Amino acid sequence: MSVRQPAFLKAEFTRQGTDWYERLRAQIDPENASRIGAIDILTGDFSIGDDTLAAADQLLGRRPEAQTWFVRICHSGVPRYGRRSWMESS
């Protein structure tokens, strides 16, 4: 299994992910609030799961080369970005 390399630096990755979420927001059912969205920032394909692993598994099943951005639906943050939690990164 090969390790996927990020297509962008963190700042651009963040900008792309945020832009895609804003464009896709209207398509997401409000009943999914507090669930996790996984978005491929290259294509805009997305999936929704109860946690990052479930959302990522669905997305990567369709797009194995996805550059995945996670977002907690209807919230401003996700408790994890990469391997470290938000609390550890400050």
Domain boundaries, the chain: 27-75
Q: Residue for token digits 């992910």?
A: 17
- Partnered with residue 70 across adjacent β-strands are 38
pTM of the shown model: 0.74
Give me the pLDDT at residue 69, please. 92
Give me the pLDDT at residue 5, please. 72
Reduced to 3 states (helix: H, G, I; strand: E, B; else coil), residue 7 is coil
Q: Residue for token digits 């919230």?
A: 75
What tens digit of pLDDT does each residue of 24-41 get?
Answer: 988 889 899 999 999 999
Distance CA 27, CA 67 (A): 20
Average pLDDT score over residue span 43-60: 96
What tens digit of pLDDT does each residue of 63-87 get?
Answer: 999 999 999 998 755 555 444 444 4
pLDDT at 42 over 70: yes
Q: Letter for the amino acid at 46?
A: F
Q: Letter for the amino acid at 27?
A: Q
